[in-house]
Amino acid sequence: MGVRVKLNVSIGDKEFTIIALLNSGFETDTPQLLIPYRLLREHGIDLSLLGEYVVKEYVTAGGSVSLSIYPRKCKVKVVEEDRESNEVYADLVVSFIDTEPLVSDALIEELGIIILNPRKGYWRFNDDPIDKIRFSKMT
């Protein structure tokens, strides 16, 4: 199943909500949110208006892939029924091949998320009571 959370994402003057997979194997030095290009297009995001980007090679299970990174171009927060996380600036990583948004290990940490059971989709915020269990969102 994996752990999926509801995120509120702001890019420029656009704001939208997505369900994203927490991927601790998506190891980054800075908080990064990978969003498939088709989702950006659906939400009216014009990449040409975001300014400078860099291309970086990522090693994946399927091989190496080059992705465009727009540094600190999105703000992200987790939205739960009972609370929201702090809003965090993240690098926007654009993928033309991925089908699901992915949250990097650095962004997981910045959002204050602790993965309790990745197979069952259990997680909590790092300041939740120790017995609080949150459940993965369905896509």
The pLDDT tens digits for 67-115 are 999 999 999 999 999 999 999 999 999 999 889 999 999 999 999 999 9
pLDDT in tens, 13-61: 999 999 999 999 899 999 999 999 999 999 999 999 999 999 999 888 7
In 3-state terms, what secondary structure has residue 136?
A: coil
Q: How far apart are CA 16 and CA 64, in angstroms?
A: 30
Question: Which of the four pLDDT bands, split at 50, 70 and 90, describes residue 139?
Answer: low
Q: Which CATH class is domain 4-135?
A: mainly beta
* Whole-model pTM over 0.85: yes
Give the Cα-Cα-Cα angle 54, 27, 71 (nearest 5 degrees): 30
> How far apart (Å, rounded) are the C-alpha atoms in residues 29 and 26?
10
Return the domain boundaries, the chain: 4-135
Return d(Cα 133, Cα 46) in angstroms, integer: 38
